[in-house]
Structure formats: structure tokens, C-alpha cells
A and B are shown apart, each in its own frame.
Chain A
Amino acid sequence: GAVVSQHPSRVICKSGTSVKIECRSLDFQATTMFWYRQFPKQSLMLMATSNEGSKATYEQGVEKDKFLINHASLTLSTLTVTSAHPEDSSFYICSARDEEGTVNEKLFFGSGTQLSVL
């Protein structure tokens, strides 16, 4: 099946710094990518929908200035956590939909990024 590559898999940073997470669709094009956040023992929470060539759509309660999303090409979306604080520590997961499929085509998920803010 299709592969979504997410990098880095783990990052530790100091409070106040910014962290960028990359999500790439390796063998397909993705007009739309999604960013999720997951706390320990909890389900995935959709943060935003990343649209190639346009602004991301954020879910209610997600700060767009805090979580900057850029989707500059059909195979790459990035999430930047700006001025990270300890409460931003979480597992971040991206996903992409294979545009060749139907609207109900399954999403392919990256392996996730564990962010730890000290």
C-alpha cells in the first residue's frame, strides 16, 4: 500500500523553541493531508486539514498561530510547533489520502513524532 513518511520520529527541545515535523507521501500525491495529536492512553485528535496550495483548516480550539502548517507540494506537508511549551508535548501523527482513490479511500498514516518539550 501507499507509504507516508514522517520525520523526525522523536524530538526533544527546550521550552520556547520551534519544532518542525515533516510528512511526505512517498509514492502518491496528496492534495489533502491531516494532522493529529495524541496524548498517552487517549485517542487521536484531529488538529487540522492541510490543503496543498492553500491555507490549512484548523479544528476548533487549535491555535493556528501556534501550529503552523505548510503544504507546499503534493507530497509534503509540514507542521511547525512554534514557541513550544511542556504542554505541547505529545505524539503528533500525519496522514494523507491517496488522490487516485475515491473520496472514501482509506487514509495512510505516518509513524508519528513524539515531541517532548523540557
Chain B
Amino acid sequence: LAKTTQPISMDSYEGQEVNITCSHNNIATNDYITWYQQFPSQGPRFIIQGYKTKVTNEVASLFIPADRKSSTLSLPRVSLSDTAVYYCLVGDWMDSSYKLIFGSGTRLLVRP
């Protein structure tokens, strides 16, 4: 079972900031939080990864509160090309192997 819960879908308009929150109540001490973006008929693309507090790169920011039971992906000034499915993942040690189990993801629609 996926260890994360996200809203199924979100709508936004071009130029707006979009914040997608993910719940991971059972995150383990050594788990990192990773976000991926997926366009139709393509493999997921890495966006950002963090462990705690705030991480920022050229495309997004990731906010993680002190208890690490949730995280928020922030996309500044979205464009139409940001319409995609966004997945929040935390790692899972199963059968002595580290795996990433995908949850349902959030389908973001950016409107003109």
C-alpha cells in the first residue's frame, strides 16, 4: 500500500502559485519525500526531494513541517505546460529492498 495521500485533482490558472499537499502519517525516520511529475504516455520525471524544512530548486519548492507527516509541493507561476499528474512518494523498505510505491497522485489542470 502507498504510504501517501494526496488530493485527486486540482485546478488552477496560468500565472498562479499552486500548492499540493501530501499526507504521509507513517513516514519512517530515514524516509525522504520525493515528488514526481508525469505527462501522459511518459515516465515520471523527478521534481524535488527533501527530508525536512524547506527545499527549493529551479522549478519548485518543497515544504516539510517538523513532524514530517505531510509535505507541500509549491509550483510558482504555473503555465499550461504544468498540466500533469504529480506524485508524492516516500520510500518503503519491504523484503529487504527499498521501493517507491506510487499513490493515486494529483491531477493538476492549468487553465488559460
Contacts and interface: CB of A to CB of B under 8 A. Distances in A.
Report whether chain A binds chain B.
yes
Nearest to B87: A43
Interface in B87-106: 87, 91, 95, 97-105
For chain B, give the interface size range: 20 to 34
B7 interface: no
Contacts of A51: 97
Interface residues of A, number: 27
Contacts of A6: 43
Contacts of B101: 46
User: Interface residues of B: mostly helix, strand, loop or mixed?
Assistant: loop
Interface string A66-83: 000000000000000000
Interface string B26-38: 0000111010100
Interface of A: 1, 4, 6, 32, 34, 36, 43-46, 49, 51, 57, 91, 93, 95, 97, 103-104, 106-112, 114
